[in-house]
């Protein structure tokens, strides 16, 4: 029996960062969306480093971004280290491939050398704008004769390579977020694909690589939208496949302005150092400019399964730190103790006995955001050191010595059974509600807020509790 040939290409998405700095929330959101889409379709998520030879210090940033992606669980199926059939996956190593395509464009007269200087081009742009014409290239070098070209090269004149754009046409494509797009070639004009120093233009390599690497869907920031018609023209002229595109709205600060350090352009590295949990970040970002039906915290599988391109917003996504903290809290509530234990770090492990760790986590998980918060509660529960806040001192003083004597008697009788202790003190001292609970919390923890005392007291233990309740 003849086999049915599958004509559908498996979905392949990619993240193609330029390693010029540390990744921040905006960049990593693009990576996350691409990752989720690939995972949802059981497709391939590819990583490509858009480094060029001219970039300085990119190795450091390349390693850093790989570390950030791994830390967030955005493991790529194809790319640096993972390997694959379409490498190399760093543009700095793909020079010979670009050369081939330049040669192909030149030999078929799809591109031509342009000798116009920066200065000339700037004047032409200004003139066009003053006359309310689109500031496209005038076409001055479009029809130079072969002799002319050779003579100018012989004189050592520098030239860029320009792609020839057919006039009077439109480039149309369906953007998966922004809907149908139409661009007039008359507004695009012939564009530079290779600079005069021989380096390829960004969008040239970017398009060639997407095609050669078999990328089927490009999800990227809308700042690249105007590159897309040029890339489509290029790919079609070279007979290369054109991927589908989804241009996502950018992330802005709460004030609507581009992200700044204060408003969310914090690097992933900084977030990691501060103690943010990877699932908190992925849950937050998967909802930044994208809507799920449910607000509940989800693991990566569920985030992927329920992700929907048609639910990506067109309006800019606003970074909101409160929401990020909310996701951090959700992650802490949902993650297994073993994960939180690792997250809390070595200092806490030294303070909390192994057999009390689960109880400690259950006691504090609703009251912490970061490992530093957990450390404070570990010190309160498992060391004799107690810092008593001014507010707590006042509550203790107001309750008075007789109250604490009753509390201590109840402790001797009921051990660390907090319910029984409070019932006893309530009867003995005729106090209830806040007047009963607050002085006990204040004396036992030095604070007026925090985890349930019923869960903390067994960790604090009778000896330490007795000392803390012995108020003179």
Spatial separation of the C-alpha atoms in residues 253 and 31, rounded to whole Å: 19
Do 264 and 285 form a contact (C-beta atoms < 8 A)?
A: no
Pairwise CA distance, residues 61 & 71, whole Å: 15
User: What is the closest distance, in whole angstroms, from the C-beta atom of residue 319 to ligand GLU in the complex?
Assistant: 18
- 224 binds ligand GLU, rule: CB under 6 A: yes
What 3-state class would DSSP assign to 217?
strand
DSSP 3-state of 399:
helix
- Cα separations in angstroms, 336 against 88, 196, 341, 357, 358: 39, 57, 9, 12, 10
Smallest gap from residue 154 Cβ to ligand GLU (A): 36
Is the Cβ–Cβ distance between 381 and 360 less than 8 Å? Answer: yes
Contact set for ligand GLU, span 268-307 (CB under 6 A): none
Between 225 and 302, name the residue whose CB sits nearer to ligand GLU: 225
* Cβ nearer to ligand GLU, comparing 18 with 445: 18
The residue range among 13-21, 101-109, 362-370, 410-418 that interacts with ligand GLU, by the rule CB under 6 A, is 13-21
Among the residues of 11-79, which ranges form H helices?
A: 25-40, 58-71
397-418: b or e for each residue (b if 16 or more CB lie within 10 Å)? eebeeebbbbbbebbeebebbb
Looking at beta carbons only, is 288 or 331 nearer to ligand GLU? 288
Nearest-approach distance from CB 58 to ligand GLU, in angstroms: 12
Question: Which stretch, 10-18, 69-77, 93-101, 408-416, contacts ligand GLU (CB under 6 A)?
Answer: 10-18
Site for ligand GLU in 50-69 (CB under 6 A): 50
Strand partners, 83: 79
The minimum distance between CB 230 and ligand GLU, in angstroms, equals 12
Binding segment (CB under 6 A) for ligand GLU, from list 16-24, 123-131, 138-146, 439-447: 16-24
Instruction: Tell me the window of 12-20, 300-308, 335-343, 346-354 that interacts with ligand GLU (CB under 6 A).
Output: 12-20
SS3 category, 181: strand
If the CB atoms of residues 181 and 422 are measured against ligand GLU, the closer one turns out to be 181
Cβ distance to ligand GLU smaller for residue 46 or 395: 46
The secondary structure of 110-125 as a DSSP string is SEEEE---HHHHHHHH
C-alpha of 88 from chain center: 25
Name which of 61 and 377 has its Cβ closer to ligand GLU: 61
The span from the CA of 174 to the CA of 182, in Å, is 9
Answer for which of 12, 13, 16, 247 binds ligand GLU (CB under 6 A) is: 16
Shortest distance in whole angstroms from residue 455 CB to ligand GLU: 47
Nearer of residues 43 and 345 to ligand GLU, judged by Cβ = 43
Closer residue to ligand GLU in complex, CB, 206/282: 206
Q: How far is residue 319's CA from residue 285's CA, in Å, rounded to a whole number? A: 9
Among 220, 230, 290, 429, binds ligand GLU (CB under 6 A): 220
Q: Which is nearer to ligand GLU, 16 or 406 (CB)?
A: 16
Neighbours of 116 (CB within 10 A): 18
DSSP 287: T
Pick from 273, 288, 308: nearest CA to 41: 308
Site size toward ligand GLU, by CB under 6 A: 8
Q: In the window 159-218, what residues touch ligand GLU (CB under 6 A)?
A: 206, 218
Q: Which residues bind ligand GLU (CB under 6 A)?
A: 16-18, 50, 206, 218, 220, 224
């Amino acid at each position: 029996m003849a086999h049915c040939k599958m004509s559908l290409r498996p979905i392949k998405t990619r993240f193609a960062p330029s390693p010029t700095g540390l990744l921040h929330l905006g960049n990593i959101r693009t990576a996350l969306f691409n990752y989720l889409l690939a995972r949802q379709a059981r497709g391939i998520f590819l990583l490509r480093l858009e480094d060029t030879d001219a970039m300085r210090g990119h190795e450091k940033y390349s390693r850093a971004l790989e570390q950030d992606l791994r830390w967030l669980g955005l493991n790529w199926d194809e790319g640096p280290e993972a390997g694959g059939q379409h490498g190399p996956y760093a543009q700095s190593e793909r020079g010979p491939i670009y050369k081939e395509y330049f040669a192909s464009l030149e030999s078929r007269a799809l591109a031509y050398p342009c000798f116009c200087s920066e200065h000339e081009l700037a004047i032409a742009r200004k003139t066009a704008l003053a006359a309310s014409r689109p500031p496209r290239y005038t076409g001055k070098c479009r029809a130079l004769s072969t002799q002319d070209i050779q003579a100018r090269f012989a004189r050592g004149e520098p030239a860029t390579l320009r792609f020839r754009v057919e006039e009077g046409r439109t480039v149309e494509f369906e953007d998966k977020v922004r809907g149908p797009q139409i661009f007039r070639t008359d507004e695009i004009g012939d564009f530079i694909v290779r600079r005069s120093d021989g380096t390829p233009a960004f969008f040239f390599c970017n398009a060639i690589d997407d095609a050669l690497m078999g990328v089927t869907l490009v999800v990227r920031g809308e700042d690249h939208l105007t590159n897309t018609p040029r890339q489509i023209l290029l790919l079609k002229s070279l007979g290369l496949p054109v991927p589908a595109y989804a241009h996502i709205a950018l992330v802005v600060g709460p004030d609507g302005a581009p992200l700044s350090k204060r408003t969310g352009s914090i690097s992933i590295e900084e977030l990691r150092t501060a103690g943010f949990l990877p699932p908190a970040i992925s849950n937050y970002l998967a909802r930044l400019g994208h809507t799920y039906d449910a607000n509940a915290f989800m693991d990566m599988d569920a985030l992927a399964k329920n992700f929907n391109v048609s639910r990506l917003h067109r309006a800019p996504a606003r970074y909101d730190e409160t929401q990020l903290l909310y996701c951090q809290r959700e992650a802490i509530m949902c993650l297994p103790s073993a994960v939180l234990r690792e997250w809390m770090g070595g200092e806490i492990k030294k303070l909390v006995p192994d057999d009390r760790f689960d109880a400690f986590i259950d006691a504090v998980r609703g009251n912490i955001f970061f490992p530093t918060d957990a450390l404070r509660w570990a010190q309160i529960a498992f060391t004799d050191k107690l810092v008593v806040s001014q507010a707590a001192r006042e509550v203790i003083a107001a309750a008075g010595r007789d109250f604490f004597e009753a509390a201590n008697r109840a402790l001797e009788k009921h051990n660390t059974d907090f319910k029984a202790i409070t019932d006893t003190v309530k009867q003995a001292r005729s106090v209830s509600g806040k007047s009963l609970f607050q002085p006990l919390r204040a004396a036992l923890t030095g604070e007026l807020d925090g985890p349930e005392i019923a869960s903390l007291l067994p960790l604090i233990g009778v000896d330490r509790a007795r000392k803390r309740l012995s108020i003179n």
